[in-house]
Structure 1
Amino acid sequence: MIKLPHPRLHQLLIQLHAEPLPQEELARRLNVSTRTVRTDVATLNELIATHGAHLIHQRGSGYQLKIYNQGLFEALLAAQGQDSGLPRTSRERVLHLQLLLLTAEQGIKLDELADTWYLSRAALQGDMAEVREQLSHFRLSVESKPRLGMRIQGEETAIRACLTQLLYQELLHNNQLQTLLPNLCPSKTMEVVGNHIHAQLARHQLRLADESLQQLTIYCAVALLRQASGHELRHFASEDLTLPLLAVSSDIYAVLPTLMPPVEDEIAGLAIQIQARLIADTPQLSPAMAAESEQLVEHLLAYIHQHYPYDLRGDQQLRADLQTHISAMLLRVKYQIGNHNPLADHIKQYYPLAYDITLAAISEWIKQTPYRLTHHEIGYLVIHIGVGLERHYDIGYTRRPQALLLCDAGNATFRVLEARIKREYPQLQLTTLESVRDYEGLAQIAQDFVISTVKVNEKNAPVVLVAPFPTQYQLEQLGKLVLIDRTRPYMLDKYFDADHFMVVTEPLTQAELFARICDQLEAEDLVESGFRASLQERERIVSTMLGEGIALPHSLGLLARRTLVYTVLAPQGIDWGNGEIATLIFVLAISKADYEEAMGLYDLFLALMNEKASRNLLACRDFASFKALARTGS
């Protein structure tokens, strides 16, 4: 029986075994292009043709898996599960290494692990760099001693937090970590623990979201595992606890399958986990934590008012929503309690204005605290700030069409025509002209097109001829010009130029790219002195990758003297961190003068991503061809 040669082919088979899917959805799930999907489908078809199944494409529903011999196909699936205990990809190895280090009672030796996994020591050493970076987010480190191997160093609370998050993320994505996950958290243990927790919370009339209950269940399973191994919590800080939740935690431990009664620190640790996940209109907080959350709300609203043209300080609904969310958030970030936001990536893409404003405001606060906010937590804050902005301000930007209205039929007729056009197309901005002679004297037309009641020569803008009392047909013809989206070409004309366009053909790091661009912008006096440092800080907080190889690096503040986009094409790719490669990079330098208008740039970049235009744009070798292609996106 064959073994599929690539993990992606196995994923493709599993996806199509579950349901028919179009190639666009498969490309999104597998994080590849539609062209790669078609290639993988052809390869997979050749491999499974003699094993009881084949793939077909049906218009309207996409690719489907047709099974004509159930026995052969089940044997094929069974073969894919054999030897699954060995990690096959770098990502799987990084996860395995983290779990091994977090749960090992003795040192882990790379030489022995390399032999077991049939790998070179050099390959594992490369993976260890990523492992150390991931563990550092929890303030954990790896100590290595000759002949003893590698051991984890850090607080017990941090080890449990890291284990809980790793296990939850894998369960969330239905990745069973081969044979390792069932050994750490057997499904039967999880089910029993989950039922006990749910029953006790219901008895105390406390509510948790399903996702929070699952995370709490994993934490309890991890806590039981650590206690059984002799790793109990010691000296757990309890100043943020409330007495009612200590009682709840004690009752939960009373029904859990523990080998020995839990110490007070363990009860306090579980109480904080519950407290940080509760659904409550009035969060249960210690006085110190309540004061800190109130200060953060005040800081966010004051910062936005001070640095942006928005004043949300009087929005009591926003204050209440932020207070409720931030109260629990502070507990989570202080005690490293993971929180998953399923919309985190979408929020960054579709609410760029609110995201940047929130990130700038929260980054000032982060500098003064030991806390670390994940993009999941930031995403939830963005939603609250975004709703407040939408409630009070028109924060979207679309360039409205502009027309020159020429009518020489008298003032009364002119007003009737103007009113009729505005009623039909309220988005149209009209500039009026009552004399053909004045029109003929214009060197060029500043508007997008001309609406005229008399026949005139066309200059640099198209002319639409209408009657003083226009017919429905004439209004429909006018609509063809009004409804054209002019935002994209307007943005490309105003903010992109050949002097700030670069094609990178040699290997380059992100830091080297930033240095090269900032050197030029500073020499041209286009940015203020803090732009370079702010650009780097923004990238450290949360990656600016948008998707499809597109990255949008920019500063936290409005530090440009005029708004521009520095376009970088990097066909070879630039490492953008977190395993992501950027090939199409737009460095944004945004000024205060046209901040809101410049937010329309994000719609342009999002459109390019959705159109999967990166591959075609990367083939451009000069600015003219890039700009022409970007206008159409194809």
Structure 2
Amino acid sequence: MIQFPYPRLNQLFDALRGETLPQEELARRFDVSTRTVRTDINALNEILLHYGAQFVHQRGSGYRLDITDESRFAALEQQQDMRSNTLPRTARDRVVHLLLRFLAQDEACKLDDIADGWFVSRASLQSDMAEVREIAAKYGLTIESKPHHGMRLFGSENAVRACLANMLFQFQSGDDFLPELHALALPGVDLLQLREQLHAVIQQHQIRMTDEGEQHLMIYCGIIVQRIRAGHLLGEFSASDVEPALKLAAAQMIEILQRQTGCEIPQAELDYLSVQIAARRMTDGANLQPGGQDENRALVDYILGFINDRYNYDLREDEQLRSDLLSHIATMMTRAKYQINMPNPLLEHIKQHYPLAYDVTLAAVSSWEKDVPYTITDNEIGYLVLHIGVGLERHYDIGYERHPQALLVCDSGISTVRLLEAKIKREFPQLMVRQVDSLREYEKLEQIEEDFVISTVKVAEKNKPVVLVAPFPTSFQLEQLAKQVLIDRTRPYMMDKFFDETHFCIIDKPITQAELFNRLCRQLEQEGYIGGDFHPSLVEREGIVSTMLGEGIALPHSLGLLAKKTVVYTVLAPQGIAWGPGETAYVIFLLAISMQDYEEAMTIYDLFVTFMRERAVSRLLASKDFEQFRSVAKDCLSRS
């Protein structure tokens, strides 16, 4: 059986045998340079030469597969499709496998035995174990080692289940890796049958859940079965505040699980399952309990009021936003109370693509948390950001004509739908999204009335073309959309408005973050741009969470719009400045935004997101003066 020399070649081969892709898109997908892509293609072609195929480059479209000998290539494809996935190949795969092994089995594990079975060195596994212990520690779990016996995991049953569930939640339902992980973590559990049975109960009790929510509930129920079979039960647990209808559904699900375990399941398990259902359902103001409704509306009022008072963005009368926030917060508060983590695979993208919305939401939630016993996780804040970001764009970036019509298919929940709608409308303002269907609803349609379909998952093409996009579309995917809606926009002119030579410097010597803040704020205060309250607020904001945007770009700013006049102070630091645990900033944009210029703030953030997308840090750092910096920056913006 053929094995490519390193894992990325397998991934590259799989990507290109299905479609033609330009090298820029391949570089983004695999997080490498275009030069590395060309090197990989050459390596693949040397191998494929013996199997009657080559990847050839077509100007304007990218690399495509050219097959000259169908029979020899068919043999290669068969070998690739049959290649074994049982051995973890990368460090990330090994970490996942190791942690799931500790979580799913009671007996001790010896690294020497695992290393021999995986054909890796013991030193590699010891290095992986550092990350395994770090992840386990987040759940209050420890891994202890005894000489001649091996290592075992210790911790509460709640913590074991939470860690096990979150490790499996991070993989999408279509991930090739997932069946293998299910077999490792949930041996003997028929998840497909379980999902159908759970879906029937959900429909019977008219509980609204996304496909992703059902997937998570199925995994948790599978964990219940596996843990009870292994003799592990939850301790005492009560959920008196869960609605009776949800407890009835949980009781029916417990009956299903009892048939799989062959034993009676105690009340604590039923109560905790009812909380899991409550934490993952979709809800709205119509089906909230009165007590919770008041608390949730108070939080919505607080967030929108804080954003208006501190940032001058008035979203308080946006009823759509209020409804969306209330729907999310209703289940978010359940998760916060019972410390249930809902993974957010888009979190890093949200921080990078919605930096303004992330900042105002983080500031509002951080202020609210000072007076309540709950802790809102970064994942939850990320979902709130999607709603706030959509509200900001709805009110502060409008006025375009919309002509083409599209059907949007998205099965990841209302926040992702709102995000994708906003992103598409922002990129293609003349586009009207006529209808939003889940995958299940789309499959029932006989024909599509809209001009084309935009989908976040692979769907069968009906009578209209389908454009496949991610929740945060890549540049290549946006190009495919552009072919349908025929639009192109750029904003390089914004550089002239927000940047100037007086507020630009190159620091090519060691300096701390605190020293940098003192130096820049002292100059800006002397020039009348800020007052004495700006610097303390800048430090406080950085203390909440790092202002690193990504790709070595940092955006320090105050909590709220405290500047007297708006200015962006640009700092290039070739040696880098420590910017938090394990982070280094090389290009720093200190933002001082006044209340009078708040409408421009969203555009300012867009510029920095563009620099990050273009991976422009190395080019910006090569600038010798402000004119060179502006030239590079405008070039990046003109190509975005």
- Please tell me the TM-score bracket, short chain as reference: 0.7 to 0.9
SS of corresponding position for 1:241: coil
Task: Determine the C-alpha separation between the residues in 1 that align with 2:592 and 2:130.
Answer: 33
Alignment match, 1:457: none
**CA deviations over 1:124-174 (Å, ceiling 9, x no partner):** 44433433443344x323242443554444442332232222213224461
Task: Determine the C-alpha separation between the residues in 2 that align with 1:616 and 1:229.
Answer: 57
SS of corresponding position for 1:50: helix
Instruction: Report deviation, 1:103.
Output: 1.8
Alignment match, 2:24: 24
Task: Determine the C-alpha separation between the residues in 2 that align with 1:196 and 1:599.
Answer: 47
Instruction: Report deviation, 1:612.
Output: 4.1
**CA deviations over 1:506-558 (Å, ceiling 9, x no partner):** 8xxxxx7534423433554754224224213222xxx7334x55444545444
SS of corresponding position for 1:10: helix
Task: Determine the C-alpha separation between the residues in 2 that align with 1:484 and 1:222.
Answer: 51
Instruction: Report deviation, 1:115.
Output: 5.0
The 5-angstrom pairing of residues 266-285 of structure 1 reads 266-282=269-285
2:362 is the counterpart of 1:359? yes
SS of corresponding position for 1:329: helix
2:499 is the counterpart of 1:492? yes
The 5-angstrom pairing of residues 513-532 of structure 1 reads 513-521=512-520, 524=523, 526=525, 527-532=534-539
- The answer to whether the Cα contact below 8 Å between 1:53 and 1:73 also exists between their aligned partners in 2 is no
Return closer, same or farther for 1:485/1:588 CA change in 2, 3 Å cut-off.
Answer: closer
Task: Determine the C-alpha separation between the residues in 2 that align with 1:245 and 1:63.
Answer: 52
Instruction: Report deviation, 1:12.
Output: 0.6
2:267 is the counterpart of 1:264? yes
**CA deviations over 1:74-113 (Å, ceiling 9, x no partner):** 4476369756433332222222232123223134444554
Task: Determine the C-alpha separation between the residues in 2 that align with 1:280 and 1:162.
Answer: 26
2:359 is the counterpart of 1:328? no
2:396 is the counterpart of 1:394? yes
- The answer to whether the Cα contact below 8 Å between 1:27 and 1:34 also exists between their aligned partners in 2 is yes
Instruction: Report deviation, 1:488.
Output: 1.9
TM-score, normalised relative to structure 1: 0.73
Match of 1:565 among 564, 569, 594: 569
Alignment match, 2:185: 184
Return closer, same or farther for 1:70/1:300 CA change in 2, 3 Å cut-off.
Answer: farther
Amino acid in structure 2 at the alignment position of 1:275: A
Alignment match, 1:602: 605
Alignment match, 2:9: 9
Instruction: Report deviation, 1:366.
Output: 3.6
Alignment match, 2:478: none
2:501 is the counterpart of 1:502? no
Return closer, same or farther for 1:95/1:112 CA change in 2, 3 Å cut-off.
Answer: same
Task: Determine the C-alpha separation between the residues in 1 that align with 2:174 and 2:518.
Answer: 43
Task: Determine the C-alpha separation between the residues in 1 that align with 2:155 and 2:373.
Answer: 16
Instruction: Report deviation, 1:338.
Output: 4.5
Amino acid in structure 1 at the alignment position of 2:208: R
**CA deviations over 1:218-270 (Å, ceiling 9, x no partner):** 11112211111111122123133111111111112222322212111111122
Return closer, same or farther for 1:390/1:528 CA change in 2, 3 Å cut-off.
Answer: same
Return closer, same or farther for 1:210/1:599 CA change in 2, 3 Å cut-off.
Answer: closer
Instruction: Report deviation, 1:357.
Output: 1.3
Amino acid in structure 2 at the alignment position of 1:521: L
- The answer to whether the Cα contact below 8 Å between 1:242 and 1:285 also exists between their aligned partners in 2 is no
Alignment match, 1:205: 206
Q: Give 1 or 2 for the bigger CA radius of gyration.
A: 1
- The answer to whether the Cα contact below 8 Å between 1:241 and 1:271 also exists between their aligned partners in 2 is yes
Task: Determine the C-alpha separation between the residues in 2 that align with 1:558 and 1:98.
Answer: 45
SS of corresponding position for 2:536: coil
Return closer, same or farther for 1:575/1:69 CA change in 2, 3 Å cut-off.
Answer: farther
- The answer to whether the Cα contact below 8 Å between 1:565 and 1:586 also exists between their aligned partners in 2 is yes
Task: Determine the C-alpha separation between the residues in 2 that align with 1:182 and 1:327.
Answer: 34
Task: Determine the C-alpha separation between the residues in 2 that align with 1:503 and 1:200.
Answer: 64
Return closer, same or farther for 1:345/1:161 CA change in 2, 3 Å cut-off.
Answer: same
Return closer, same or farther for 1:296/1:150 CA change in 2, 3 Å cut-off.
Answer: farther
Task: Determine the C-alpha separation between the residues in 2 that align with 1:335 and 1:352.
Answer: 29
Instruction: Report deviation, 1:43.
Output: 2.1
Amino acid in structure 1 at the alignment position of 2:58: Q
SS of corresponding position for 1:568: strand
Task: Determine the C-alpha separation between the residues in 1 that align with 2:200 and 2:330.
Answer: 26
Most deviating of 591-600 and 29-38: 591-600
Task: Determine the C-alpha separation between the residues in 1 that align with 2:302 and 2:519.
Answer: 35
SS of corresponding position for 1:232: coil
Task: Determine the C-alpha separation between the residues in 2 that align with 1:188 and 1:260.
Answer: 15
Amino acid in structure 2 at the alignment position of 1:213: E
**CA deviations over 1:388-419 (Å, ceiling 9, x no partner):** 4455x43689xxxxxxxxxxxxxxxxxxxxxx
- The answer to whether the Cα contact below 8 Å between 2:570 and 2:587 also exists between their aligned partners in 1 is no
SS of corresponding position for 2:46: helix
Uncovered stretches (5+) of structure 2, i.e. residues with no partner:
400-489, 526-533
Task: Determine the C-alpha separation between the residues in 1 that align with 2:137 and 2:294.
Answer: 29
Alignment match, 1:296: 299
- The answer to whether the Cα contact below 8 Å between 1:52 and 1:73 also exists between their aligned partners in 2 is no
Return closer, same or farther for 1:387/1:270 CA change in 2, 3 Å cut-off.
Answer: same
Task: Determine the C-alpha separation between the residues in 2 that align with 1:235 and 1:40.
Answer: 56
Alignment match, 1:440: none
Most deviating of 301-310 and 223-232: 301-310
For these two proteins, the number of residue pairs brought into alignment is: 534
Uncovered stretches (5+) of structure 1, i.e. residues with no partner:
398-482, 507-511
**CA deviations over 1:178-204 (Å, ceiling 9, x no partner):** 944433346981110001001112222
Task: Determine the C-alpha separation between the residues in 2 that align with 1:125 and 1:377.
Answer: 33
Return closer, same or farther for 1:84/1:321 CA change in 2, 3 Å cut-off.
Answer: closer
The 5-angstrom pairing of residues 124-139 of structure 1 reads 124-137=125-138, 139=139
SS of corresponding position for 2:499: helix
TM-score, normalised relative to structure 2: 0.73
Alignment match, 2:105: 104
Alignment match, 2:426: none
- The answer to whether the Cα contact below 8 Å between 1:322 and 1:384 also exists between their aligned partners in 2 is yes
SS of corresponding position for 2:50: coil
Structure 1 stretches of at least 4 aligned residues deviating more than 6 Å after TM superposition: 571-578
Match of 1:538 among 537, 540, 545: 545
Task: Determine the C-alpha separation between the residues in 2 that align with 1:112 and 1:238.
Answer: 43
Match of 1:629 among 617, 629, 632: 632
Alignment match, 1:306: 309
Alignment match, 1:51: 51
Return closer, same or farther for 1:487/1:34 CA change in 2, 3 Å cut-off.
Answer: same
Amino acid in structure 1 at the alignment position of 2:248: A
